[in-house]
Amino acid sequence: MSKLKPNDKPIIHSDQGWQYQMRFYQQQLQQYGLIQSMSRKGNCLDNASMESFFGILKSECFHGKQFESIEELEQTVKEYIHYYNHERIKV
């Protein structure tokens, strides 16, 4: 959140999971000026590209790994996203 510029309007994409429908979560998004985008109930195709990315991220980056700290997790995710966007072969 600290890296957002004043006019940024990030969109948080999610499915219809109960945690994303909770009033507190939605209030937090609103407080920080985040826009919530939820897929339609029972329609995983609404957000297929993100569902695919997170599935790949989990299997290639997290499966069977334990992190020693939040900082290690954050660094791993940053490095993986760079790899995914710039080096990984996509078919």
3-state helix/strand/coil string of 10-60:
CEEEECCCHHHHCHHHHHHHHHCCCEEEECCCCCHHHHHHHHHHHHHHHHH
CB atoms within 10 A of CB 4: 12
20 domain-assigned: yes
Q: Report whether pLDDT(68) > 90.
A: yes
The 10s digit of each residue's pLDDT in 2-36 is: 777 888 888 888 888 888 889 999 999 988 888 88
Q: Show the domain range for 25.
A: 11-38
1 falls within a domain? no
Q: Is the pLDDT score of 69 beyond 80?
A: yes
Q: Please say whether the beta carbons of 37 and 14 come within 8 A.
A: yes
52 part of a folded domain: yes
Q: Model's pTM, two decimal places?
A: 0.58
Question: Among 56, 55, 17, which residue's Cα sits nearest to residue 36?
Answer: 17
Residues 28-59: pLDDT tens digits? 998 888 888 887 777 767 778 877 888 899 99
